[in-house]
């Protein structure tokens, strides 16, 4: 069975699902948690996705919509955050490796791994606007992230060991930023205009200046970093280390004495 959890809290950009080992036995669903600061969060609803496996997901805090990938359809399920009901199904080309929402333009971006393109969905009408091809690919694309402040779209080119940067208005390709190692998760801090990318083979996080599209530094974290979440208020960067069952916490505040360093030892999160 596959269960995913999502807190509808606009102050955070943390997003990701977890997956169990027995894909054939999965019963996909979304479980919604009350957004409270409690030690034991309460499940307030369970949303069935039917027989299809569920994958990545994100939320638009402005429209109060949740977008969850259905891997076997393939499609994106649009969920009403008020009623917790699936309101629409948007078809895709499948093999979703990332999904993000721009709360300002109300556009949803879905990375389609083997199609080598990003499907762009109109969040107002739940219709497909276009498929954005990612140029210069060596095989496939990975995760993606959109920065609504600068209107930039970042797409990991998985086998190129870099990230492609697009203007999200004109959909034009701007540049590619190399970092020399395979990458998994990507996230940005709107307040600092910095992009963070997890590099699992080197156990590091690459820090990119979104203004200059240059790599500022790489930060050692835990074993096999996978996904990244950012608190844009405190500028703390949270990195899941899947081989170590820990979370590393970095200080992303520019000019801070502890900038781009681990604030404390990795936090154990399971076994």
pLDDT tens track for 100-130: 999 999 999 999 999 999 999 999 999 999 9
**Whole-structure pTM value:** 0.86
Structure tokens at 190: 């709107």
pLDDT in tens, 69-98: 999 889 999 999 999 999 999 999 999 999
pLDDT in tens, 186-202: 999 999 999 999 999 99
Query: pLDDT grade, residue 33 (50/70/90)?
Result: very low
- pLDDT in the model for residue 19: 39
> In this predicted structure, which of 43-52, 151-160, 201-210 has the lowest mean pLDDT?
43-52
- pLDDT in the model for residue 53: 87
Specify the DSSP class assigned to residue 258: T
Q: Indicate if the pLDDT at residue 16 is higher than 80.
A: no
Query: pLDDT grade, residue 270 (50/70/90)?
Result: confident
Q: Indicate if the pLDDT at residue 151 is higher than 60.
A: yes
End-to-end CA distance of the chain: 19
Strands 43-48, 204-209: pairing kind: unpaired
Strand-pairing partners, residue 271, are none
Please return the burial class of 256, using the count of CB atoms within 10 Å of its CB with bins 0-12, 13-18 and 19+.
exposed
Q: Which residue has the higher pLDDT, 3 or 233?
A: 233
Query: Helical H runs in the chain?
Result: none
């Amino acid at each position: 069975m596959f269960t995913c959890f999502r807190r509808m809290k606009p102050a955070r950009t943390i997003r990701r699902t977890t997956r169990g080992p027995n894909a054939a036995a999965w019963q996909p669903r979304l479980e919604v948690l009350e957004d409270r600061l409690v030690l034991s969060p309460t499940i307030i609803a369970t949303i069935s996705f039917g027989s299809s496996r569920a994958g990545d997901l994100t939320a638009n805090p402005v429209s109060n919509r949740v977008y969850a990938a259905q891997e076997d359809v393939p499609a994106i399920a649009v969920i009403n955050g008020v009623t917790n009901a699936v309101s629409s199904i948007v078809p895709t080309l499948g093999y979703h490796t990332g999904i993000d929402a721009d709360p300002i333009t109300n556009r949803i971006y879905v990375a389609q791994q083997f199609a080598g393109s990003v499907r762009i969905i109109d969040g107002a009408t739940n219709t497909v606007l276009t498929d954005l091809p990612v140029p210069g690919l060596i095989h496939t694309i990975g995760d993606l992230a959109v920065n609504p402040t600068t209107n930039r779209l970042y797409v990991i080119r998985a086998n190129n060991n870099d990230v492609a940067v697009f203007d999200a208005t004109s959909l034009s390709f701007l540049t590619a930023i190399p970092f020399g190692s395979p990458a998994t998760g990507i996230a940005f801090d709107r307040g600092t205009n910095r992009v963070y990318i997890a590099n699992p083979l080197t156990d590091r996080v690459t820090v990119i200046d979104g203004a200059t599209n240059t790599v500022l530094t790489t930060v050692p974290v835990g074993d096999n970093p996978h996904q990244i979440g950012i608190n844009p208020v405190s500028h703390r960067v949270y990195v899941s280390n899947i081989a170590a069952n820990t979370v590393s916490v970095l200080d992303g505040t520019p000019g801070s004495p502890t900038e781009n360093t681990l604030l404390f030892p990795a936090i154990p999160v399971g076994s």
